[in-house]
Structures are given as C-alpha cells and as structure tokens.
C-alpha cells in the first residue's frame, strides 16, 4: 500500500523520466535526422522543445514520415508559430494536451508504427484520449496544408484558379422582339 506522498513522488519520477526521453527523439525523415539538433537552433515561441518534438512525432504518423514540401520538424515550427499568434487562453488547452501525451505514453520511445497503433487506439476510445488526437491532428494537418510550398508541390489549386465547368450553354444573344403594330 502506497501513501499519497509516495504515489505523488512515483508519478513525478515517472513523468520526468518519460519527458526526459523526449530529448532522444529520432526523426524518421532523413532531412531532419541529418541535423544534430532536430530544431536546428529554432527557439519555440509558445510550445516547449518537448512539445515541438511531440508535434513532429505525431506529424510523422498523421501526415507522413517525410511528406513533400515540409518536414515534420517544419510542421512543428509552423504549429508553434500558429499557437504563438492566437489568444494564449485559446492555445493553452493544446499545450496541455501535448503535455498529457508526453507524460503518459512515452510517445518518443516508440517507432512510427507503434505511434500509429497508439494513436489509432486513442481515436477508438471516448473522451479525453480522442480529444488529444484531435488536437494533434489540428496541430499537424493544418500547418502542413496551409504552407504555400506544400500546396504547390501537391498540385493544389485555389478555388478561384480552378477551371470553370459550365454544363448548360448560355446564349449571349439578346432576345429582341418587334414592337406590336397595335397596343391594347
């Protein structure tokens, strides 16, 4: 039987050991793996470094291990910039969700396939775990597809630039009727 104090101390040690494992993040994308520091001198403005690694690791699952146009680390940098530019009270739940994922699952000790399995399991459950995955999706997919270089590489055309398809021909001739000889 544990006392409350022993339990709190054990949870603290577990959480600190899992968060410490975040520094051992090994990117799956060769462009990110070639760097000695995955963030390459980037100083996060809203997220912590560990949060940036969480977003990058989630992007490897939700977007792709090495997607065209923007690497997972680049996605995490854009997510940090997005969160830094909105109201901090609105961004705080996202930061809490990332912290919860970091401290409870050992997300960085897992391979891409193990992370995919974990996220699939979290999606299938109800409540808070599913909400955490929704936050991850928002912080990975949004910054990725909003990048102009990504849009160019995947062939995305804005709505205004798409060719118009007119299914029924429209006549440009004016319909002119002769005036009647008599009115009435």
Q: Please state the separation of Cα 130 from the chain's center in Å.
A: 15
pLDDT value for 8: 54
The series of mean pLDDT values per 10 residues for the chain, 184 residues long, is: 53 43 73 85 92 93 93 95 94 91 80 91 90 94 94 89 73 71 71
Cα atoms in the 13 Å half-sphere on the side-chain side of 42: 25
What residues make up the domain containing 93? 28-156
**Residue 22 in domain:** no
139, part of any domain: yes
41 in a domain, yes or no? yes
Answer whether 47's CB lies under 8 Å from 6's CB: no
Whether 72 is in a domain gets the answer: yes
In a domain, 168, yes or no: no
The verdict on residue 166 lying in a domain is: no
135 lies in some domain: yes
Its sign, for the CA torsion 136, 82, 69, 50, is negative
Q: How many domains does the chain have?
A: 1
Q: Which pLDDT score, from 0 to 100, does residue 11 have?
A: 47
């Amino acid at each position: 039987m544990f006392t409350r104090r022993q339990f709190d101390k054990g949870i603290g040690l577990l959480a600190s050991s899992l968060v410490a494992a975040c520094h051992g993040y090994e990117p799956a994308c060769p462009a990110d793996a070639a760097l000695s520091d995955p963030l390459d001198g980037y100083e996060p403005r809203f997220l912590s470094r560990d949060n940036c690694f969480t977003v990058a690791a989630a992007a490897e699952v939700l977007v792709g291990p090495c997607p065209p146009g923007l690497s997972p680390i680049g996605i995490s940098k854009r997510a940090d910039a997005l969160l830094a530019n909105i109201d901090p009270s609105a961004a705080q739940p996202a930061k809490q969700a990332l912290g919860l994922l970091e401290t409870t699952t050992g997300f960085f000790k897992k391979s891409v396939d193990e992370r995919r399995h974990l996220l699939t399991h979290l999606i299938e459950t109800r409540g808070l775990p599913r909400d955490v995955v929704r936050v991850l999706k928002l912080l990975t997919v949004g910054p990725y597809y909003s990048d102009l270089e990504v849009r160019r590489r995947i062939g995305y055309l804005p709505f205004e630039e798409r060719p118009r398809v007119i299914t029924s021909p429209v006549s440009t001739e004016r319909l002119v009727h002769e005036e009647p000889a008599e009115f009435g």
